[in-house]
Structure 1
Amino acid sequence: MSDATIDHVPDRTEEHGGKAAKILYRPFGLISSIIGGLVAGQVFKQVYKRVSPGHRKDAPTPLQSEYPLREILIAALIQGAVFSGVKALIDRGGARAFQKWTGEWPGD
């Protein structure tokens, strides 16, 4: 198979955007972050309901003394992972949509 038949895939699909793109993206990014936070909160509630001991409705908070520290830490780790994953998906999707609409990548 020759090099001519193999499509070249660049290491980075996004190109660096300008300062104007970053400024224009801020309101778009803020709105998508708020929506992402709401989505992540709902996803976390559903995940915690399924993995919690006794299938509790709500996750414990650090100031609830009736829960053992281990359970509070596990809930916090799950919540952090869910929020980080959803944020990454929302941020990347928003940046790609912004690039598609404007032709400029808002990051870097």
Structure 2
Amino acid sequence: MSLIRVLYKPLGPLLGVAGGLVAGRLSGHLWKLVSGDDEPPAANRKDRGWGEVLFAATLQGAVFGLVKAAVDRGGATLFDKVTGEWPGDTGDDDKS
């Protein structure tokens, strides 16, 4: 692994934190659009049904997964454009 690729390692957690903040806000906005409530229901709320709690969790998980993939891919793409080296697995390794 080259020195340039090693320099990318500390960027991953920083991008992850930023992505988490964006995902949290986005999932909150989506929940409000879908349900009209300001916050998704907590799993331990007695006054909320299984369907609502599980749907809210599914929506939140999908948003976090989407944002994480977009942030990771965008960070790697930008790093590649700036340095000329892809920071992750290139798929060129022959594992047979």
TM-score with structure 2 setting the length: 0.86
Question: CA 1:62–1:21 in 2, change beyond 3 Å: closer, same or farther?
Answer: farther
Deviations 1:16-57 (A, max 9, x none): xx35444221111111110000000010010000101xx111
From 29, 44, 51, the counterpart of 2:34: 51
TM-score with structure 1 setting the length: 0.77
RMSD: 1.2
From 20, 23, 48, the counterpart of 2:6: 23
| Deviating 4+ runs (over 4 angstroms) | none
**Matched residues, number:** 89
From 26, 43, 58, the counterpart of 1:62: 43
What 5-or-longer segments of structure 2 have no aligned partner?
90-96
Determine whether 1:78 maps to 2:63.
no
Instruction: Give the distance between the partners of 1:29 and 1:99, measured in 2 at CA.
Output: 14
